[in-house]
Amino acid sequence: MAATPKNYNANQIVLGPCDVWVNTALPAASSRIVLASNGTPDDATNTNVIHLGLTEAGVTFEYTPEIQDFTSDELTAPHLSRLISESARITGNFLQVFNWSLLEKMTVGGTKNVDTNTSTGYEELTFGGLSTISTFPVALIGKDISGTDQYWVIHLYKTYNKAGFSFTVTRRDQSKAPFEFMGLAITSRAAGDQIGNFWHMGAANAA
Amino acid sequence: MNPYVEKAKSMNLPPLPWTHKALGEELYCQLATQLGYFNPKAEQRDYRPALDASLFAHLIGKASKPATKE
């Protein structure tokens, strides 16, 4: 009788920092976002992408399934379970609240206006009166802890910022605003690939 | 082989970028639907993310036969 090997593997730990990219391109079925050699989205296909910039304390990814257990009068334990709903979201606090391209995405009903005139120009965000919400893909990208130039990606295909936009102005602290990118399903993609993906570059990472 | 790559070989793929602004609504919807991204007609009208063309980049400008419209 042989022993079963233990799975102690430091390369399977995820350690930050990481970067959030808003409004990436959408990968085709059975495909993944293409990254440049430094782990940023490829600029040839991600022409409208916005880097979220600095965060207060990193980023949280959360996938939450809602499971329904079915029981019977005859048994003491559930005999059947089904996935009823699932939610995926990327949350945190971003610091660069003075970025109007980002604000347009963060305020789901906001519209950015720009005048590039060097003397009278401005950047502006107007809001109020729109009932549809702005949705876009979001990618969370970090470097593989193994030390190689490989990266991991959490990509939500269709999100909106559920946290809205709020920040406090105070002498004592820097500006920051919460974000909560809520993953929505794209119903016309294949079942199992409707909300997003989580993957890393390179060969399979052991057991 | 990815069936969408096989399909793309017979299509006359436009140059990058594959954004809604560059492609226009009709061509955008055609590429998104036929190459397996999603069906824009089944989504709200302002959800039109750029299409990541990297899977098909090697086929751009290399249609093996005239593109057919389905």
Residue-by-residue pLDDT tens, chain A, 207 positions: 899 999 998 888 899 999 999 999 999 998 999 999 999 999 999 999 999 999 999 999 999 999 999 999 999 999 999 999 999 999 999 999 989 899 999 988 888 999 999 899 999 989 889 888 889 999 999 999 887 789 999 999 999 999 988 888 899 999 999 999 999 999 999 999 999 999 998 776 555
Q: Which two tokens stand for residue A92?
A: 């945190």
Full residue range of the structural domain in which residue A152 is found: 39-69+80-97+132-200
Min distance A29 CA to chain B CA atoms (Å)? 5
Q: Give pLDDT tens digits for B10-66.
A: 899 999 999 999 999 999 999 999 999 999 999 988 899 999 998 898 898 776 555
CA–CA separation, B25 and B28 (whole Å): 5
Q: Is the dihedral of CA A155, A156, A157, A160 positive or negative?
A: negative
Cβ of residue B49 closer than 8 Å to a chain A Cβ: yes
Q: Which amino acid is at A166?
A: S
> CB-based contact (8 Å) between A33 and chain B?
yes
A25 Cβ under 8 Å from any chain B Cβ: yes
Q: Is residue B65 part of a domain?
A: no
State whether residue B54 sits within 8 Å of chain A by CB: yes
Q: Are A38 and B40 in contact (CB under 8 A)?
A: no
Q: Could you tell me the pTM of the whole model?
A: 0.90
Q: Which of A195, A202, A201 is nearest to A61 (CA)?
A: A195
- Cis check for the bond before A17: say yes or no (omega within 30 of 0): yes
- Rounded to whole angstroms, the Cα distance separating A158 from A133 reads 12
The two three-digit tokens of residue A55, written as one number: 């965060």
> Rounded to a whole number, what is the distance in Å from the CA of A197 to chain B's nearest CA?
14
Closest alpha carbon to B37 in A16, A32, A126: A32
* A177 part of a folded domain: yes
Token readout for A13 is 């730990």
Q: Which of A140, A138, A126 is nearest to A182 (CA)?
A: A138
Q: A26 and B37: CB-CB below 8 Å?
A: yes
Cβ contact (<8 Å) for A136 and B35?
A: no
Q: Is A53 inside any structural domain?
A: yes
Share of chain B residues as helix, strand and coil, in percent rounded to the nearest 5 = 35, 0, 60
d(CA A48, CA B50): 8
Query: A48 to chain B, minimum CA–CA distance in Å?
Result: 8
Read off the tokens for B37.
């991204």
Q: How far is B62 from chain A (nearest CA, A)?
A: 18
Does A46 fall in a domain?
yes
Number of domains in chain B: 1
Backbone CA torsion sign across A176, A180, A186, A192: positive
3-state secondary structure at position B50 = coil
Determine the residue of chain A that is closest to B21 in CA distance: A48
Q: What domain range includes position B46? A: 3-59
Residue A49 lies in a domain: yes
Q: Is residue B30 part of a domain?
A: yes
Q: What is the pLDDT of residue B63?
A: 60
Contact A186 B43 (CB under 8 A): yes
Among A residues 39-58, those touching chain B with beta carbons less than 8 Å apart = 42, 44-48
Residue B69 located in a structural domain: no
- Number of structural domains, chain A? 1
What is the ipTM, given to two decimal places?
A: 0.85
Cβ-contact A142, A62 below 8 angstroms: no
Contact partners, residue A2, CB within 8 Å, separation at least 6: none
For an interface test with B, the pick among A48, A159, A188 (most B C-beta atoms closer than 10 Å) comes out as: A188
Beta strands A80-94 and A55-70 are: antiparallel
Note whether residue A104 is domain-resident.
no
Residue A144 lies in a domain: yes
Residue B68 placed within a domain: no
